Structure 1
Amino acid sequence: MSDDAPLESDRLDGAPHPRDTARLFGHAGPEAEFLTAATSGRMPHGWLLTGPRGIGKATFAWRAARFLLATPPVAANDMFGAPPPPTSLDIDPEHPVARRMAALSEPGLYLLRRPVDDKDAKKLKTVITVDEVRGLKGFFHMSAGDGRRVVIVDSADEMNPSAANALLKELEEPPEGAVLFLISHRPSGLLPTIRSRCRTLRFTALDDADLAAALIQAGSEPPEGIALANLAQGSVGAAITLGEQGGPALYGDIMRLMDTLPNMDRALALKLAEATAGKAGEARFALTLSLLETALARAARLGATGQAPPDITPGEAATLARLAPTPARARDWANLAQSLTARARQGKAVNLDPAALIFDIFLDLDRTAARLAA
């Protein structure tokens, strides 16, 4: 993101904001399900959009919001003599609603996301607080009688407990004409009562063709070869981040390190750990943890199923098969992955040295490999 670009918690660095994304690839099923509900006169007031991060849930939410605000509602008992119902969510970008939404000036839309920190205008708050949710009351009051009102929560996973309870009250007694879109990458972490008051639309990972098309639309190069496409796991957001941060090369280094277990190449381990140090290494720290989780998950899957996935990096399958040759070994690696990366993230949150945290993970991997090989 350029220095003069606005701070937006729902914008991925290196990609256009979802409100500026023209097309949605690979999700015809959820679009058709929503369109049927929207044109039947029986529109649910709450929609929970679930699926992996970066696959188009927010793009869908903005498309659906444009459609609702630009299309007159259809009453359930007012179908006779009505014009044919719309067959897509497409809205002309020159439509007044579309233009206002692009400028964030549409009075019928409320965007609930992490705002800029009150104490530091160069940072965002780490969570959505109850103060942001309380703004909904004013929005609904000021727009009363103006037809549909749409709320996009991006993402619902980032609400703190007070904010979640405040939003629940709005879902329990929604104003007439209000529609709320809750974007969630981890719906299991939401209040069960929030989930129960929403209709769920599930979004799945993009296939290779849709991923490539979505990346071209976002101004990024489509993945070449198997490495980036497999690491991205059908996520446009992940593919952009991995491409910009050298994800395939880092994954190759991690696999080379794992290939030396249980006699770990300490020089390589130290090099990878030191790259995560300091403020400049924050993104590298997150990426290293994510790719470690990917490597261990692939090892566990191979051990559990006996099926080797296509190599992301040369020789990967042989390394994973040696480390996790049986389902029992697979469980050991899967359990270790969860505990190690969770511990590292907790340590980073309390300002422990990130390089030391990563190096400790490598040491634990080496000790585990030695124990399992004994």
Structure 2
Amino acid sequence: MTDPRHTFELWGHEEAENVFRTALASGRLHHAWLISGPAGIGKATLAFRLARLLLNGEDPDSPAGRRITAATHGDLLEISRAVDEKKGRLRGEITAADVRPVQSFLHHTATEGGWRVVIVDGAEFLNRFAANALLKILEEPPPQAILLLTTASPGKLLPTIRSRCRALALSPVSDQDMRAILPDVSEDVLARAHGSPGRALFLAQDRDGAIAGFVAEILAGKALTAEMLPLIDRIARETEGFALLCDLLGEGLAERARSAARRGDLLLADSSARQCSELDTLKRQTDGFNLDKAQAIRQAVERAAGM
């Protein structure tokens, strides 16, 4: 997907945008907004679109528009997970040090005499200290300042943060819009993306369907065999292979838990939900400590195939 800062077209979220525009036009714009929805659905794209609206940068060729694109606009601050230079990937959390610049930014006079806008992209990654620091800002917001928080997991945020934000929950993008956005992506992948363009592109990285097929076998109860090891090694070597496997396996376990609960099979529902949680922990530990991905995949498969 294109960097949200460089994206000027928004698909499927006109209703959410209109809610914000109406509040702005009324003169009663809430100081903090929580934009929620699945990963890849367009939360950050909407946040930057709203920032452009506030900062007179909707025209990408205008002076303000160019500054926003170039990340040089003095009245826009983006907070997100920083890159761990040693590991070459995003850190697992947003720290208090990442949030600290917000306080001084919001208490300076706007460079262009209007709004000051802070985007916190991925607010679910705020650690405890960062969350508390942000909460203090939300409790005493300065005038002419707007905070736009995005999250794929609003339940992971402090209730006190959620309560101080106006909610904007994004709905899945329609099938028609998904096909227009991603004409080269297969119908099967679009169906499994659940209305999220970013997720569709993520799933499309499994070009030959090998990972999806492997996960389907595991969820069907097939035990780990020696014949599977070359495929596991291949998945571990691929850039997004481990993440794809964990995503598909986690989705399958979550659906198993939901289906079992609907049937009244609470034992299976509880077991599947626990496996899903264990898989999430395994993924975070593997990524966080740079553990052997092939070994982690084998552990995930052994746990899931035990059903």
TM-score w.r.t. length of structure 1: 0.73
The residue aligned with 2:35 is: 49
> Displacement, 1:354?
2.6
Give the Cα–Cα distance (whole angstroms) in 2 for the partners of residues 162 and 95 of structure 1. Answer: 38
Distance apart, 1:347 and its partner CA: 4.4
Matches for 1:165-184 after TM superposition, within 5 Å: 165-184=132-151
Which amino acid is the alignment partner of residue 204 of structure 2? G
Q: Kindly provide the CA deviation profile for residues 264-290 of structure 1, in whole angstroms up to 9, marking residues without a partner as x.
A: 36144423432344xx34621121111
Alpha-carbon offset, residue 26 of structure 1: 1.0
| Alpha carbons 1:25, 1:213 under 8 Å: kept | no
Other structure's SS at 1:142 match: coil
Q: Say which of 246, 253, 257 aligns to 1:289.
A: 246
Q: What amino acid maps onto 2:251 in structure 1?
A: T
User: What is the aligned partner in structure 1 of residue 99 from structure 2?
Assistant: 133
The yes-or-no answer on 1:196 pairing with 2:163 is yes
1:338 counterpart residue number = 276
Q: What SS is found at the alignment partner of 2:173?
A: coil
In the alignment, structure 2 segments of 5+ residues that lack a partner are none
Question: What is the distance in 2 between the residues matched to 1:285 and 1:168?
Answer: 34
Q: Is the 8 A contact 1:231 1:248 kept in 2?
A: no
* Aligned equivalents of 1:140, 1:211: Cα separation in 2: 37
Q: 1:19 aligned to 2:9?
A: no
C-alpha change, 1:194 and 1:327, in structure 2 (3 Å) is same
SS at match of 1:70: coil
1:253 aligned residue: 214
Relative to structure 1, is the Cα distance of residues 207 and 304 closer, same or farther in structure 2, using a 3 angstrom cutoff? Answer: farther
Number of paired residues?
Answer: 305
Q: In the alignment, is residue 28 of structure 1 matched against residue 14 of structure 2?
A: yes
1:261-300 paired onto structure 2 within 5 Å? 261=221, 264=223, 266-277=225-236, 280-281=237-238, 283-300=240-257
| Aligned-residue offset at 1:170 | 1.2
Classify 1:355/1:121 alpha carbon distance in 2 versus 1 (closer, same or farther; 3 Å): closer
Could you tell me how far apart the structure 2 residues matched to 1:149 and 1:143 are? 8
Give the deviation of 1:233 after TM superposition: 1.7
Deviations 1:303-343 (A, max 9, x none): 5557xxxxxxxxxxxxxxxxxxx745751553243244134
Say if 1:347 and 1:357, in contact at 8 Å, map to a contact too.
no
Q: Distance in 1 between matches of 2:52 and 2:285?
A: 42
CA separation in 2, counterparts of 1:353 and 1:253?
A: 19
Deviation at 1:121, TM superposition (A): 9.4
Q: CA deviation at 1:59?
A: 0.8
The answer to whether the Cα contact below 8 Å between 1:52 and 1:235 also exists between their aligned partners in 2 is yes
Q: Deviations over 1:37-82 (max 9, x none)?
A: 01000010000101111101111111111111118xxxxxxxxxxx
- Give 3-state SS (helix, strand or coil) of 1:151's partner: strand
Q: Distance in 1 between matches of 2:214 and 2:87?
A: 37
1:362 Cα shift? 2.5
CA distance in 1, matches of 2:229, 2:291: 17
Which residue of the other structure, out of 342, 349, 355, is the alignment partner of 2:294?
355
2:115 equivalent to 1:148: yes
* Identity score, percent: 38
Letter paired with 1:102: T
> Which of these two proteins has the greater Rg computed from alpha carbons?
1
1:204 partner amino acid:
S
Conserved 8 A contact 2:75-2:110: no
The answer as to whether partners of 2:76 and 2:116 remain within 8 angstroms in 1 is yes
Q: d(CA) in 2 for partners of 1:125 and 1:350?
A: 11
Counterparts of 1:7-156 in structure 2 under 5 Å?
Answer: 15-70=1-56, 91-117=58-84, 120=86, 122-144=88-110, 146-156=113-123
Contact 1:108 1:148 in 2 (8 A): yes
* Residue 194 of structure 2 corresponds to residue 228 of structure 1: no
Secondary structure of the structure 2 residue equivalent to 1:126:
coil
Mark the runs of 5 or more structure 1 residues left unpaired by the alignment: 1-14, 72-90, 307-325, 369-374
Aligned partner of residue 244 in structure 1, secondary structure: coil
Over the residues paired in the alignment, what is the CA RMSD in angstroms? 2.6
Q: What one-letter code is carried by the residue in structure 2 that aligns with 1:132?
A: D
Residue aligned with 1:147, SS: coil
Look up the SS of the partner of 2:186 in the other structure: coil
Which residue of structure 2 lines up, in the alignment, with residue 239 of structure 1? Answer: 200
